[in-house]
Amino acid sequence: MELEKEMNVKKENPSLVGMFTSPGLQFERIKGNPKIWVPLIIITILYTVGTTLMALSMDADTLIGTGIPEDQGDLIIGFTKVMMAVMGLFIPIFGVLISSVIQLIIAKIANAAVTFKQLFSMNTYIMMIGAIGLLLNMAIRFGIGGNPEIYITSLAGLLNSEKAGVFGSIEVFGIWGVILTALGLHRTAQFSKGLAWTIAIAIFLLQIGFGLIGTLLQGAPKL
């Protein structure tokens, strides 16, 4: 009976929507039947729409506040909007690729029986959470205005901070992604729970560290 159940799980395709409702089941399906191209295309589309909304939500005042001369605001804002929209095409593939390579190296060290395709598929499906988070936050920012770099669902957004900083790194969808990363590394990559959570938390702390560095750089005196 258990063998039959496992074979049925292997035959079924993982679901992007299922990452919100039954992530554990999706990770089991990814382990037996990793899918890449269709989910990656869907997530790339979502990220492109999200970054486009982010670009449209930006204004010259935001850039001028970071030290850009006012007379160059229109030129800079136009270039920045185009670049941000284009970034949506590359963020998913590079994000998934880098995460998968790092995890594969750790898997080799830990002697975990997981393939690069399984890791790539797992990280692609996990990125669905970030894609929805980006799309939701940028749709809200586009509607109500404000700094698009600050997610409404982050601690910075809750505190009405003017800059993202460290508080911007503490965000609902980001934490959700960390939890799913730990679960995925355990279910799909067959890492121990301790190792899976250590990697996931290390990634989260690294994000907070980058936020802290950004805050320090923004507060540095201008030369």
pLDDT, position 17? 96
pLDDT, position 145? 87
pLDDT digits (tens, 9 = 90+) for 14-49: 999 999 999 999 999 999 999 999 999 999 999 999
pLDDT, position 33? 96
Token pair of 101 as six digits: 């390579």
Query: For residue 222, what pLDDT band results from cuts at 50, 70 and 90?
Result: very low
Residue where the block lists tokens 């990634």? 203
pLDDT, position 217? 58
pLDDT digits (tens, 9 = 90+) for 84-99: 888 889 999 999 999 9
**Mapped to the 3 state alphabet, what secondary structure does the chain carry?**
CHHHHHHHHHHCCCCCCHHHHCHHHHHHHHHHCCCCHHHHHHHHHHHHHHHHHHHHHCCHHHHHCCCCCHHHHHHHHHHHHHHHHHHHHHHHHHHHHHHHHHHHHHHHHHCCCCCHHHHHHHHHHHHHHHHHHHHHHHHHHHHHCCCCCCCCCEHHHHCCCCCCHHHHHCEHHHHHHHHHHHHHHHHCCCCCHHHHHHHHHHHHHHHHHHHHHHHHHHCCCCC
pLDDT, position 55? 87
pLDDT, position 220? 46
- Residue 102 predicted with pLDDT over 70: yes
pLDDT digits (tens, 9 = 90+) for 109-163: 999 999 999 999 999 999 999 999 999 999 999 999 888 889 999 999 998 887 7
Residue where the block lists tokens 């990559």? 189
pLDDT digits (tens, 9 = 90+) for 194-213: 999 999 999 899 888 876 77
pLDDT, position 47? 96
